[in-house]
Amino acid sequence: MNKDKISFEEAIAYTQSLFRDDNLQEEEIARGIRDLVATENGARGFFVTYLTQENLPDNHPPYVIIALKSSPEIVSELLVKNLAMSTAMTITHRRQNNEQMAQSSLDVIQRTTQLIQLLELEQITTKLTQMRESAATNQGNYSTFLHRWGYDKEQKQVIEEKMTQLLN
């Protein structure tokens, strides 16, 4: 696998293999995570897999946190977007009377929030502020992102509230 040209799908499969292989040592898993989060496709595949795992421990292992800090720009961007998307999707799932999927989104929100708090990256604070601003005003750095996903007024309001909660 070429780490620089990894596809989103390959990143998902690679992340699954990292956490499925009981023979891997923490340093090998950390190296794999560092390689993944060095690229946007790799990081996207990592987070979509890691944050939705059923057997994810309640506490993120320190080696995961250290590995994620190796790419602060990519990691902070994706964590803030994941938080916004999961927050909005909770409303969508509840509107569709799909409480199981709403609970899955709430789990992702909780895991993402934990990672954000543990990472303590300056870039995350900046991006949380920018996402909050875009959700509140329909302008700014994340307005295109919010528009692309078609979030309505209620969804943007809960995104704004979630960003504010983490900034306080």
Q: Tens digit of pLDDT for each residue in 88-140?
A: 999 999 999 999 999 999 999 999 999 999 999 999 999 999 999 999 999 99
Residues belonging to the chain? 168
Q: What is the pLDDT of residue 22?
A: 85
Q: Return the sign of the alpha-carbon dihedral for residues 85, 87, 90, 92.
A: negative
Helices (H), the chain: 8-20, 26-37, 40-50, 62-68, 72-95, 99-119, 122-137, 143-148, 153-167
Is residue 42 a contact partner of residue 60, using CB atoms and an 8 Å limit? no
Residue with tokens 């927050």: 87
Helix, strand, or coil (residue 4): helix
Average pLDDT over residues 146-167: 97
How far apart CA 153 and CA 23 sit, in angstroms, is: 48
Q: How confident is the model at residue 32 (pLDDT cuts 50, 70, 90)?
A: very high
Q: What is the pTM of this model?
A: 0.93
| Angle between helical axes of 122-137 and 72-95 (0-180°, round to 10) | 40
Q: Tens digit of pLDDT for each residue in 11-26?
A: 999 999 998 888 899 9
Helix, strand, or coil (residue 51): coil
Is pLDDT above 70 for 3?
Answer: no
Residue type, 6: I
Q: How confident is the model at residue 1 (pLDDT cuts 50, 70, 90)?
A: low
Q: Tens digit of pLDDT for each residue in 54-80?
A: 777 778 899 999 999 999 999 999 999
